[in-house]
Chain A
């Protein structure tokens, strides 16, 4: 699967949608909806509501996150918002403020 990379010098204000992996090194404001995985790298700044399958965050995210599979907050990330996902991982060193909702099945 091809990767789309939003480089560190790019700023996007609007809506991003698609069905392949997205890597954000730059700045995105608005809304992101993907069918695959989203990677917010350490230089990435996202101010958007996110809907996707998987998210890995090493950068800064402000907004609500809904993932159908997994949300991973890496060490040194800064996340503010509500997270809804069946699997949520928070690494030591991550900063997070918001609600967590894991849809528990069974």
Chain B
């Protein structure tokens, strides 16, 4: 079950506020505020999100600004532009993606380095 905030609604609907839910969500339009999702959030190339995001897994093809906290994985793909701080066990950045901010992956380094 996947909900979608469509590109068709881009000029008609801008969501400002907090967005939460349990399913998967695809954003092709615009969201400002806060997003808290139990499952997978995808921001498509047409999507523009200005929000703090909490989700299990996050895939970004579009634009996102705000802090990101994912319990599983964040993927920043080629066409993505992302600004903010990311906290997740796994973070993948593809060539061509633009990212500014900090990344925290809970690195455990041995004491001797």
User: Chain A interface (Cβ within 8 Å of chain B)?
Assistant: 45, 47, 60, 62, 70, 78-80, 87-102, 104
The prevalent SS among residues of B at the interface is strand
A102 and B104 form a contact (CB under 8 A): no
* Chain A residues whose C-beta falls within 8 Å of the C-beta of B113 in the assembled complex: 45, 47, 60, 62
Nearest chain B residue, comparing its CB with the CB of A82: B102
19 A-B pairs (CB sep. < 8 Å): A60-B109, A78-B107, A78-B109, A80-B107, A90-B92, A92-B73, A92-B92, A93-B90, A94-B91, A94-B105, A95-B107, A96-B103, A97-B103, A97-B106, A99-B101, A100-B99, A100-B102, A101-B100, A102-B99
Interface residues of B, Cβ cutoff 8 Å to A: 73, 90-96, 98-109, 113
Q: Cα distance A78–B108 when bound, in Å?
A: 8
State the CA gap A79–B96 with chains docked (Å): 21
- A92–B90 contact, CB under 8 A? yes
Closest A residue to B112 by beta carbon equals: A45
Q: Given that A90-B91, A92-B90 are known contacts, is A100 also in contact with B109, CB under 8 Å in the complex?
A: no
Smallest CB-CB A-B distances: 5 pairs:
A90-B93, A95-B107, A99-B102, A97-B107, A92-B92
For the complex, give the distance between the alpha carbons of A65 and B106 in Å: 19
Whether A104 touches B98, Cβ cut-off 8 Å, given contacts A90-B92, A93-B90, is: yes
